[in-house]
């Protein structure tokens, strides 16, 4: 079998048959490039690949790649061999692969005050209006960067205060807009949005009139984070985390948060309950005095009892 041709047909299948996002397709393409190169280096035919060989391939990458990358590559191999099993009848040696455990880290996010400080920095120049609108939509709608860049003009319904978004797998969801976001989007749309050519179908266009790309958004958010002394790990996706955290803080039902974010599994959404709990602990630590022992505590006991009697 022509391995490289099989990879090409597989990538076409996940794009057209499964509706995978371009970023996912690009990632899997790179994963499979590494796998094909390893097969050639080891002079092994695809039909002869077994679980031991695949595990050896993953283990060989452990010194050069992080656990998250190897975990993603494991998922790619499972998907690829599942495809080969279904359409070509090849055995699937990937089902029992052991991926490294991914460290569970709380997402980086910003609170409302920090976002307000970012928004105050933008002027009324064309670029200032565009950049401010990007930040507001990411924060007020919880969009992924790919969803922001591919947001269509006819899916923006400012008179109804909502936008229609197509997420992973082409899954559709409606996002309500707050008044401030509607006002900013109207300002952008009516004053500086000047698309050229085919870019007219997209709501967001670059200063040159082209479709907005991920690199522009990434550089913008990173610059804002540096100006406000936010975490070096702060990224466009952190604004999505900030949106979700804000909803949880306001006691929004978790199922509704899942729907607004476009998560297929509610377990993905539940990470934001941990963020809220973590923040609560920090708040309590700040608000309450440290436990005291010995004479200091005894000396203050009478005063504390008097204070309790005076509480309203």
- Highest mean pLDDT among 42-46, 303-307, 308-312 belongs to 42-46
Looking up tokens 């990458």, which residue turns up?
61
pTM of the model: 0.64
What is residue 306's predicted lDDT score, i.e. its pLDDT?
Answer: 38
**Is 241 assigned a catalytic role?**
no
Asked whether the predicted pLDDT for residue 201 surpasses 90, the reply is yes
3-state SS class at 165? strand
Exactly one of 168, 173, 222, 279 is catalytic; name it: 168
Asked whether the predicted pLDDT for residue 128 surpasses 80, the reply is yes
Backbone phi and psi for residue 85, each to the nearest 5 degrees, phi listed first: -70, -40
CA atoms within a 13 Å half-sphere pointing along the CA-CB vector of 307: 5
Looking up tokens 């283990």, which residue turns up?
59
The string of pLDDT tens digits covering residues 217-226 is 999 999 999 9
**Would you say the C-alpha torsion 263, 268, 273, 279 has a positive or negative sign?**
negative
Exactly one of 144, 193, 241, 246 is catalytic; name it: 144
Residue 85 binned pLDDT confidence (cut-offs 50, 70, 90): very high
**Alpha helix positions (H), 51-198:** 51-60, 67-88, 112-120, 126-141, 145-149, 179-191
Query: What are the angstrom distances between the C-alpha of 296 and each of 6, 62, 231, 268, 303?
Result: 75, 54, 38, 47, 12
Residue 99 binned pLDDT confidence (cut-offs 50, 70, 90): confident
What is residue 277's predicted lDDT score, i.e. its pLDDT?
Answer: 53
**Is 303 assigned a catalytic role?**
no
Cα–Cα distance between 273 and 312 in angstroms, integer? Answer: 33
Query: 60-67: long-range contacts (C-beta < 8 A, 24 or more apart)?
Result: 61/34, 62/100, 67/100, 67/101, 67/102, 67/103
Cα–Cα distance between 95 and 90 in angstroms, integer? Answer: 13
- For residue 221, give both structure tokens: 């958010």
Asked whether the predicted pLDDT for residue 254 surpasses 80, the reply is yes
CB 144 within 8 A of CB 134: no
**Is 210 assigned a catalytic role?**
no
Backbone phi and psi for residue 177, each to the nearest 5 degrees, phi listed first: -110, 135
**Is 168 assigned a catalytic role?**
yes
Exactly one of 237, 241, 243, 246 is catalytic; name it: 237
Exactly one of 72, 132, 193, 240 is catalytic; name it: 240
CB 93 within 8 A of CB 54: yes
Q: What percent of the chain has pLDDT over 90?
A: 65
**Is 226 assigned a catalytic role?**
no
């Amino acid at each position: 079998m022509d391995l490289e041709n099989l990879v090409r047909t597989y990538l076409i299948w996940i794009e057209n048959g499964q509706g995978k996002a371009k970023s996912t397709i690009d990632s899997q393409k790179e994963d499979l490039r590494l796998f094909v190169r390893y097969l050639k280096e080891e002079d092994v035919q695809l039909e002869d690949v077994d679980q031991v060989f695949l595990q050896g391939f993953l283990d060989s990458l452990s010194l050069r790649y992080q656990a998250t990358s190897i975990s993603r590559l494991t998922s790619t191999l499972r998907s690829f061999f599942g495809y080969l099993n279904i359409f070509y009848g090849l055995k699937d040696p990937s089902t029992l692969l052991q991926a490294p455990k991914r460290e569970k880290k709380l997402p980086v996010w910003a609170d409302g005050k920090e976002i307000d400080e970012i928004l105050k920095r933008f002027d009324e120049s064309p670029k200032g209006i565009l950049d401010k609108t990007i930040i507001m939509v990411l924060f007020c709608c919880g969009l992924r960067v790919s969803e922001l860049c591919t947001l269509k003009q006819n899916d923006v319904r400012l008179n109804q205060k909502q936008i229609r978004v197509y997420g992973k797998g082409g899954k559709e969801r409606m996002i309500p807009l707050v008044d401030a976001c509607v006002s900013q989007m109207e300002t952008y749309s009516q004053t500086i949005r000047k698309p050229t050519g085919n870019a007219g179908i997209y709501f967001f266009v670059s200063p040159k009139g082209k479709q907005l790309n991920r690199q522009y958004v990434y550089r913008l958010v990173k610059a804002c984070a540096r100006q406000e002394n936010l975490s070096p790990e702060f990224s466009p996706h952190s604004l999505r985390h900030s949106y979700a955290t804000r909803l949880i803080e306001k006691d929004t039902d978790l199922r509704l948060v899942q729907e607004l974010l476009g998560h297929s599994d509610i377990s993905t959404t539940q990470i934001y309950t941990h963020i809220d709990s973590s923040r609560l602990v920090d708040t309590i630590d700040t608000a309450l005095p440290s436990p005291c022992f010995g004479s200091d505590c005894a000396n203050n006991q009478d005063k504390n009892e008097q204070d309790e009697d005076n509480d309203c």
